[in-house]
Structure 1
Amino acid sequence: MANRPVFVPKTEGPALVEIVNVDFAWSAGLSIVQKQKSIAALHDSFRQRFPQARVLEVSSKSAAELGRKLSAFNMGVTSRNGQFISVESLFQSSKVFTSATGIQGPFRELMLLSPKEAKQSELLKNAGQLKHFSYCPSEQREAEIWALEPKSAFYDWLYLNALNIVPWKEELLAYSAFTDIEFNPVRSINCQAYSVALWCALRMRGLVCDAIPPRDAFIDLITKFTIHNTSDGDTTTMSLF
């Protein structure tokens, strides 16, 4: 058995995204077939409690093309010279660390690597303790510093900016819950399925339309609501649908 969160965008109430932790039968193995078995079991377990839910897996392992397109490895922006930069590579290249030898990073060169190469870069593994994020997608812009709190704000902002420019984003509003089988809240904080649910909640409430607000306005917006951590989720008092 395993336990994973399901992210539910809310059209009203104090939280933009509710998190439901679900127990399900895990299929061991790294193959896509095994991952998709686990996804199906997770979704089936969730729908046993919420039969009317329409759930989308958001990852490269998703059986749905839409879910695969939503992977942070596939979402991104295009630079002025035509270079595609994934959300994952942007995120990793913005990390700044502190260590006994001083400040390490940001490592801007990771921006141009594949998302897998950027995430697994040796530059990040021994850099020290994460201090903040320094976002600067081009030399023409001054670096923008993002604090570590709210915990997933910077990642969500990067992801939402990429999502908000794709022509098929409105398709997401047909779904009522989102998962990411690769995400384990014991090991990670940021989750692309949470970011998708957050965009849906903001869109359904009319809080985002043409553009995602800049840093300070975005933080002001999301902190007006209750922010659940990815380890939260108690459905005993929820009315989700």
Structure 2
Amino acid sequence: MAVRPLFIPNEEFVGVTEKLIDFQWFPGLSASQKKRSIEALHSVVHKLGYKRVLEISSKSEIELGVNLSAFNLKIKTRKYGKEFTVETAFQGSKVFERGGPYKDLFGLDSRAAKKDIRLKESGNLVGFEFFGKKFPLIPRTYFYDWIYINALHRNVSLSDEVKSYQCFTDIEFNPKKSINCQAHAVALYLSLFNLELLEGALESPESFLRFTKEHYDNQRRNIGVQDSLV
């Protein structure tokens, strides 16, 4: 057995409801084993009454879910005209005690950026810096959510498709080991959109934090875990 969160957009106020789902786990790294685990997870979710659930990861059986993976979803900066994935933007923005941000990671693919040895050898993570804008570690998922939701909003075809789903999963996200999650970010995006607050929230990083502050105050993440994306 395994436990993974189900992320549900709140419709009455900004935020995400997380339900921990117990389901049968199929061990192994093969795509077929991941598929079986996802099917088992979604089977439980369906029994809870949620029929439109989307797996968001590179293991998703639905193309939309694969495209929404942080390894694939791209963001293009308006000011500099540069394009890179959410994953490379996240990794390349990390600031450590003894180095960073390592902006050269923006030029790598997602997997290469995540595996860069400097991310392991530069001491504790102390914050983020994205094109001169600094972000704190607290709230724990603030920077990741901000950059992911900006990327999703600018990919109109993807953001339109995702609006037909009720809730989201990420089979690779283990809340005991990681903090940031793409499925959570999508659910938060929909909460802001459904409450007609999205445009205001994306005016600036400060606006985003102001609109989401109550959600982050209520959010629970293991503060002993280094920020990462599995």
The two structures have a TM-score, normalised by structure 1, of: 0.86
Q: Find out whether 1:213 has 2:187 as its counterpart.
A: no
- The equivalences for 1:79-158 within 5 A come to 84-98=83-97, 103-136=98-131, 143-158=132-147
- The equivalences for 1:13-32 within 5 A come to 13=13, 16-32=15-31
Task: Name the structure 1 match of 2:218.
Answer: 227
Listed as ranges, the gaps of 5+ residues in structure 2 are 223-230
Quote the offset at 1:172 in angstroms.
1.3
Which structure 1 residue ranges, 4+ long, deviate > 4 Å from structure 2?
79-83
Worse-superposed segment, 103-112 or 201-210: 201-210
Quote the offset at 1:126 in angstroms.
1.1
| Letter of the structure 2 residue corresponding to residue 112 of structure 1 | G
Contact 2:140–2:221 (8 Å) recurs in 1: no
CA 1:54/1:199 → structure 2, altered by over 3 Å: closer, same or farther? same
Contact 2:9–2:166 (8 Å) recurs in 1: yes
In terms of fraction of residues, the more helix-rich structure is 2
CA distance in 2, matches of 1:230, 1:194: 12
Listed as ranges, the gaps of 5+ residues in structure 1 are 137-142, 232-241
Task: Name the structure 2 match of 1:139.
Answer: none
CA distance in 2, matches of 1:18, 1:230: 13
Contact 1:24–1:45 (8 Å) recurs in 2: yes
Worse-superposed segment, 208-217 or 189-198: 208-217
SS at match of 1:30: coil
CA 1:230/1:62 → structure 2, altered by over 3 Å: closer, same or farther? farther
Please report the RMSD computed on the Cα atoms of aligned residues, expressed in angstroms.
1.8
Match of 1:176 among 166, 186, 189: 166
Instruction: Give the number of the structure whose alpha-carbon radius of gyration is greater.
Output: 1
Quote the offset at 1:82 in angstroms.
6.8
CA distance in 2, matches of 1:36, 1:92: 27
Quote the offset at 1:85 in angstroms.
0.5
SS at match of 2:58: coil
| Letter of the structure 1 residue corresponding to residue 9 of structure 2 | P
CA distance in 2, matches of 1:220, 1:78: 24
Contact 1:164–1:212 (8 Å) recurs in 2: no
Match of 1:53 among 45, 51, 54: 51
> Over residues 163-190 of structure 1, what are the superposed CA-to-partner deviations in whole Å (9 max), with x where a residue is unaligned?
0011221221211110000111111100
- The equivalences for 1:28-39 within 5 A come to 28-39=27-38
Quote the offset at 1:79 in angstroms.
5.6
Worse-superposed segment, 208-217 or 176-185: 208-217
